[in-house]
Amino acid sequence: MISVLIALWFNLNILIMKTIKLAMLVVIAIGMTKCSSDVENDIQQNTTITQEDISPEILSKLQRMGFDTDKTSVASAKGGYIVDGDIFITEETLKETNFQKQAFYTIVDCNRAGNIRIQNALGNNAAGRGFQRGIDLWNRVNRTTLRLIPVNNNPDILVRLSNPGEIGGWGLGEFPSNGVEGGLIILNLNEPSIDGDPVTAREWGNILAHEIGHNIGFLHAEQGFFGTQIPGTPNVDPNSIMTSGSNPNVVFNANDVSNFDKRAIRRMYSNRNNRLCN
C-alpha cells in the first residue's frame, strides 16, 4: 500500500513539473512574439517616409523633376524644400515650367563652371579646416574645365554653418537653376561623426565635396535611375562621393571622388563637343 502511494506521489510531481515547464514555454513564446512585433514596428517607423504636409502641387513638381516622392523625404524650409535629407531646392526653381528629368545631374552653364567662386564662412573649426579638401577633391580631377575658386567676398557659393535647428544631418546643398550653380551650402557642427566622435576636418572635407556635388548638379548616386543618366556612368555607384546619407561610411571614409564621379564630371564640364553643359 505504501509503495503504491509513493508511486502515485512521484507521478504527480512529474505531472506538476511538466505543467510548469509548458506554462513557462507559453509565456516565453508570447514574449518573443511581442518582441518580434515591437522590432517590426520599430523598423516600420524608422523607414516611414513623411512629407510634412507638403502640398500635392509641390510633390507633383518634384516628381516631374525625377524624384520618387513615395520613397524620398520632403521637408519645407525657408525659401524652398529639403529633399532626401540634404538637397535644397528653392521655390524659384520649382516655379520653372520646363522641367526635365535629370538622371545623375542638373547642369551649370559651361562658361560659369570654369570660375565658380566659393567662400568659406565656417570659422575656425574642423569644418573650416576641411574646406580646402572639399574643393580640392573636385578641382584635382583632370580633363575637366570645372574650377572652384576660394574667395573672401561676393561668392557664387556661400558655405556657412547651420543655425540652431535649421537642418538635420551633416550638411545641405542647393541644386543649380537656369544654368546657375546652387548658391548655398550649410554644414551642421552639432551632428556627430558615424563613430559618435566629433567630425574631423578630413571628414568635413568629404562632406563638403558631397554637398558641392549637389550645387554643381549631382543627385545622390542611388538616384541614377531617374530620367536620363550621364553616358558611361552606372545606375548606382557604391563608391561615389555622392552616396546618400543612408550609407555615410562611403562619404566619411573616401580618399577621393570615385572613378565614375570623375567620368561624370568630365562629361558634364569639359572642352569636348559632347559636353553636357552645352
DSSP letters, 217-237, are TB--GGGTTSSB--TT--S--
**Is the pLDDT at 79 greater than 60, yes or no?**
yes
Domain shared by 126 and 219, yes or no: yes
**Is the pLDDT at 24 greater than 80, yes or no?**
no
| Residues 92-113, mean pLDDT to the nearest whole number | 67
User: Can you give the pLDDT at residue 73?
Assistant: 85
In a domain, 262, yes or no: yes
Other Cβ atoms closer than 10 A to 200: 15
Range 78-106 burial, b when 16+ CB lie within 10 A, else e: eebbbbbbbbbbbeebbeeeeeeebbbbb
Which of 182, 179, 210, 214 lies closest to 105, judged by CA?
Answer: 214
User: Can you give the pLDDT at residue 203?
Assistant: 98
Instruction: Name which residue leads in pLDDT, 96 or 105.
Output: 96
- Could you give the number of structural domains in the chain? 2
Domain shared by 17 and 87, yes or no: no
User: Can you give the pLDDT at residue 215?
Assistant: 96
> CB under 8 Å to 116, separation ≥6 — which residues?
108, 146, 147, 148, 149, 156, 157, 181, 216
Domain shared by 16 and 109, yes or no: no
Domain shared by 98 and 209, yes or no: yes
CATH number at residue 145: 3.40.390.10
Please say whether the beta carbons of 207 and 227 come within 8 A.
no
Instruction: Name which residue leads in pLDDT, 106 or 162.
Output: 162
Q: How many CA atoms lie within 13 A of 51 on its CB side?
A: 15
Domain shared by 1 and 83, yes or no: no
In a domain, 203, yes or no: yes
| Residues 130-135, mean pLDDT to the nearest whole number | 98
User: DSSP readout, 7-75?
Assistant: HHHHHHHHHHHHHHHHHHHHHHHHHHHHHHHHHHHHHHHHH----TT--HHHHHHHHHHT--TTTS-EE
Query: What does the alpha-carbon distance between residue 235 and residue 29 come to, in Å, rounded to a whole number?
Result: 44
Helix (H) or strand (E) holding 116: strand 116-121
Domain shared by 16 and 97, yes or no: no
Domain shared by 98 and 14, yes or no: no
Domain shared by 151 and 70, yes or no: yes
User: Can you give the pLDDT at residue 96?
Assistant: 65
**Is the pLDDT at 163 greater than 90, yes or no?**
yes
In a domain, 34, yes or no: no
User: Can you give the pLDDT at residue 12?
Assistant: 45
Domain shared by 87 and 160, yes or no: yes
259 pLDDT tier (thresholds 50, 70, 90): very high
Query: What does the alpha-carbon distance between residue 120 and residue 151 come to, in Å, rounded to a whole number?
Result: 8
User: Can you give the pLDDT at residue 91?
Assistant: 82
In a domain, 136, yes or no: yes
Write down the mean pLDDT value for the chain. Answer: 79
In a domain, 234, yes or no: yes
Residue-range definition of the domain harbouring residue 86: 66-268
Domain shared by 19 and 85, yes or no: no
Domain shared by 25 and 79, yes or no: no
Query: What does the alpha-carbon distance between residue 139 and residue 145 come to, in Å, rounded to a whole number?
Result: 9
Domain shared by 15 and 88, yes or no: no
Q: C-alpha angle with apex 258: 247 to 201, nearest 5 degrees? A: 65
Characterize the bridge pairing of strands 171-174 and 87-90.
parallel
| Residues 220-238, mean pLDDT to the nearest whole number | 74
In a domain, 81, yes or no: yes
Burial class of residue 122 in the structure, from the number of CB atoms within 10 Å of its CB (0-12 exposed, 13-18 middle, 19+ buried)? buried
User: Can you give the pLDDT at residue 66?
Assistant: 65
Please say whether the beta carbons of 135 and 150 come within 8 A.
yes
Cell numbers that stand for 243 in this block: 552616396
In a domain, 276, yes or no: no
In a domain, 49, yes or no: no
